[in-house]
Structure 1
Amino acid sequence: MQEANKFYSDYGKRCGFGIQTRTSKKDDNNEELRLVCSREGKYVSSIRPEVKTLPSQTNQCPAGVTITRKDDKWFVRIVVLDHNHELCPQTSNLIRANRKLNMHAKHTLEVNDDVDVRINKSFLSMVGEAGGYENMQFMERDARNFIGQHRRSLCKEGDSQVLLRHF
C-alpha cells in the first residue's frame, strides 16, 4: 500500500499533478486504496466560470489508480491515466500535495528564527542555496506556517515548564 502510494506520488510529480489518497476497508480481508488526481473533488463553485479570475481548484478529474486487497494479496483494479485539465511538470513541485519541507530546511528555519532572522530572509537564502525558485520543494508560505507551528510548540513547552516549577 505504501509502495503504491509512493509510486503514484512520484508519477504525479513527474507528470505535473498532485494526488490524494482515498481508503476504504470492507472487512478484515478486503481493503481498497484509491490514488486520485488532486482535482478529483466534488466541489462545484456557485460563481460562473466566465466571471472567475482563477480556474476552479477541483474539476472532477477522472485520473487515478484503484488497488484492492483480497486475502493478503493486492490487485490493481482500475487505472485511468487521462486528465481533463492541463498538466505542468515544470511546476509540479509547487502543487500543494507535492510540497515538502525537508529536515535541512526545517532546521535552518528554526535556527534562523531563534536568532531573529526574518523568515523572508531565511527563505531567500534557501532559494539561493537551491539555485533558484524552480528548484524549491516548498513556498515561503510553507516556511511561515512551519515557523508559526514551531513558535506555538515552544510556547506550549514553556507553559508546561512554568507549571511544573509551581508544583
Structure 2
Amino acid sequence: MVSIDLNVEPDVGEGTIVNSTTPTTPCPGMCFESGLEFSEFFHRYAYMTGFELFVVGNRIKEYKDKGVSKIGIDDLEARPHMMEMIRLKCKKGGVKSSVGSNVTGCKVFVYGKEKNGEFVVISCQLEHNHPLTPESSRMMINYRSIDSATFDRVMINERAGVSVSRNFGTQLIEKGGFDNMTFNKKDLRNAIAVERRKTMFEKGDDVALEEYFKAQRDLNADFYSSIQRDEEGVLKNAFWSDARSRGNCKYFGDVISFDTTFSSNRYRMPFAPFVGVNHHGRSIVFAAALISHEDTPSFVWVFEEWLKCMGKPPMGIITDQDKAIGRAISIFFPGVPHRLCLWHMLQNASRNLGKLDEWKSIDTLIRTAVHDMLDPEEFDEAWCLVMEKYNQHKGWM
C-alpha cells in the first residue's frame, strides 16, 4: 500500500503551484529531487485522478532489496538521493486474459530518469481507455490503509476476543458506512495477523521453527526450507518440503492443488499445502507454506520457493477463487493452466445463496450440471436451464 498525504505536495519545479484538490498534470521535463519524490508525486496524481500505477521494467529485481516494489519506491533507495530510472504504468495496462479481468490494455505510463543531479520526467502518456474513478481511489489496492487510531481500537477489541467480522462491523458503523472506509475486511484481518505474529514470535516460536528446519536439513540434505522476514525481522512467510515429498513431486507433480483456506492456528497464518494425487488415487502433500498476508507478493514468494525447490513449474494448478492467488499465478506461472476448485465453488454458492427459499432446488440443479454432464455442450445446456429458470443472465454468472 502507498501512503497518500493530500496535504503535502512535492516541489515539482520553480513557479509551479500545486494544491490538494486539483492534481498537477504531469509533463515531460518535470524535475524532482529523487526517485522517491517522483514516485510519491505520481501516486498522488493517480489517487486524485482515479486510477492505480505500478512499477514496470527490468530494474525491479536489481533494486528489490533497496526498497523497490511493484507499487513504487519506499524510504530506502538504491542510491542516497535517487534511483537511476523508473517506469510507472497504469494497472489496467496489458492484455485482457479472462471475462472477469479488469485489464483494458491502457497505454498510460510515466518514465523518469536521473539527469544532471535531478530526477526528470522523460516521457509520459496520460490518455486512458477506461473511466477514471477518483471517488473510489480510497479502496484501490495501492491506496487502502488503516490509520493508527483505528488500528489501536481494533487491537483492543481483538485482545478482548472480538472477531474480525464484528471488529470490521464496528468500524463500519463508527465511520458511517462503506463510503467512508479506507480498508476492507481482508485488510483488517491481515493487519491483525501481522500484529499477532509480532507478539507471538517475540516469545521465540519463529526461532524454534528455523532451528527445526536446520535440524531437518542436517538429517537429510534434500530437505528444503525457506523463511521470509519483514523489515523488522519478524517471520513473514515460510515454505518447506521434505525429501520424500520432493521425490513424489517428480512423479506425480504435473497437476497440483494449492489451498489457503485452513487458518485455524494461533497465529492466524493460513497454512497452504501443495497437494497432488498419486497412482493409487490418494492425496499426497508435495510442500507446504505458512503465509502472513493473503496478497499477491506473498503468493509470488511462495511460488518462487516452489520453483527453487522442485526445479520446474507444474503443468496445471487448482486453487480457490482468491484473486491474489490468480494474479500471482499470472505473474510467476504465466503459461500454466489455472483452474478453480469445484468444492470451493460449491461452498461459495451455498454461503451466498443458502438463505434463499429455493436454495435446495437451486443446489440440486447446480450439482446436476457440474457433476452429471460429461462434455462442454451438455454442461452449457444444463447451466443455461438453471439461468433461465431463475432469470439470471448476468455476466458474472
TM-score, L = length of structure 2: 0.35
Distance 1:100 1:64 in 2: 25
Q: Deviations over 1:86-131 (max 9, x none)?
A: 2222212111111112222322222211111122222222222323
Question: For residue 68 of structure 1, what is the aligned residue in structure 2?
Answer: 113
Query: Contact 2:96/2:102 (CA < 8 Å) preserved in 1?
Result: no
Distance 1:113 1:60 in 2: 42
CA separation of 1:93/1:108 partners in 2, compared to 1, >3 Å: closer, same or farther? same
Q: Deviations over 1:41-71 (max 9, x none)?
A: x4652x4xxxx2x2x1333321121111024
Question: For residue 121 of structure 1, what is the aligned residue in structure 2?
Answer: 166
Query: Contact 1:18/1:97 (CA < 8 Å) preserved in 2?
Result: yes
Distance 2:158 2:168 in 1: 11
Query: Contact 2:145/2:182 (CA < 8 Å) preserved in 1?
Result: yes
Identity rate, percent: 26
Q: Which runs of 5+ in 1 are unaligned?
A: none
CA separation of 1:76/1:114 partners in 2, compared to 1, >3 Å: closer, same or farther? same
Secondary structure (helix, strand or coil) at the match of 2:203 reads helix
Secondary structure (helix, strand or coil) at the match of 1:83 reads coil
Q: Deviations over 1:107-164 (max 9, x none)?
A: 222221111112222222222232321111111110011112222232212335x98x
Distance 2:161 2:184 in 1: 20
Q: Which amino acid aligns with 1:127?
A: L
Question: For residue 79 of structure 1, what is the aligned residue in structure 2?
Answer: 124
Question: For residue 33 of structure 1, what is the aligned residue in structure 2?
Answer: 86
Pairs within 5 Å for 1:140-155: 140-155=185-200
Distance 1:58 1:158 in 2: 44
Q: Which amino acid aligns with 1:60?
A: G
Distance 1:101 1:64 in 2: 28
Secondary structure (helix, strand or coil) at the match of 2:48 reads helix
Greater RCO, CA 8 A, separation 6+: 1
Query: Contact 2:158/2:164 (CA < 8 Å) preserved in 1?
Result: yes
Query: Contact 1:30/1:70 (CA < 8 Å) preserved in 2?
Result: no
Query: Contact 1:38/1:97 (CA < 8 Å) preserved in 2?
Result: no
Q: Which runs of 5+ in 2 are unaligned?
A: 1-34, 63-78, 209-397
Deviation beyond 4 Å, 4+ runs, structure 1: none
Query: Contact 1:61/1:83 (CA < 8 Å) preserved in 2?
Result: yes
